[in-house]
Structures are given as structure tokens and as C-alpha cells.
Amino acid sequence: MNGNYKKVTCRDGFSMSIQASERNYCEPRNNAGPYVSAEVGFPSSYDFYLQEYAEDAGNPTETVYGWVPAHVIRMCIDGHGGVISGQLPPFAETAWAGEENNVTS
């Protein structure tokens, strides 16, 4: 996909943008994937799993989170009850499962 993925909303109301392309902080940095990490942006509230990747840790809902490993995104989503709407970039299955650690920082 060459464009923006729709914001993900979870069962408990938590939402975030999850983007991956040649213009985003992701690996690989291309428009096809499958990705092992992605850029998360502007979550609706603080999230423990995402915090260490924050560009501006002091402003967790108004910042981007670069090169967030796929399995960390999965843990965040699972912690908020799963996805009820939105789109995820195509993640590599092994990365989604947490079996890879190919993150560029």
C-alpha cells in the first residue's frame, strides 16, 4: 500500500496511527513490506509498551514512536482488547510473533 493506513481503534477505545512506508520510521523502509517494525503516531493515551520508542517521551499523545517492533505493537493492541477498526501494515509473521529482532534505531 502506498498511502496512509486508517487509524487503529481498540476495543477499550484506545487508538493510534500505525504507518509503514518509505517515508516512515519503519523497517524495511519501503512501500511493500512485510514490515518488522512500524511508526506509531499520536496514541489517544499513554501506553507502557510504546513509551520507550517515543520521540517526545514527555508528551506521549502528541508524538511519534519510531521503529516500534511488530510484536510490541501486537502487545499494545492485545493490551487494549484487540482491534475493532482501522488498518495494520503488512507485518512479517515472525516479527508479529516476536521471533525477530531486526529493529533499526
pLDDT tens profile 47-67: 999 999 999 999 999 999 999
Global pTM value: 0.91
Burial class (CB in 10 A: 0-12, 13-18, 19+), 87: middle
CA distances from residue 33 to 11, 21, 95 in whole angstroms, order as listed? 26, 8, 12
pLDDT tens profile 74-100: 999 999 999 999 999 999 999 999 986
Contact 64, 41 (CB under 8 A): yes
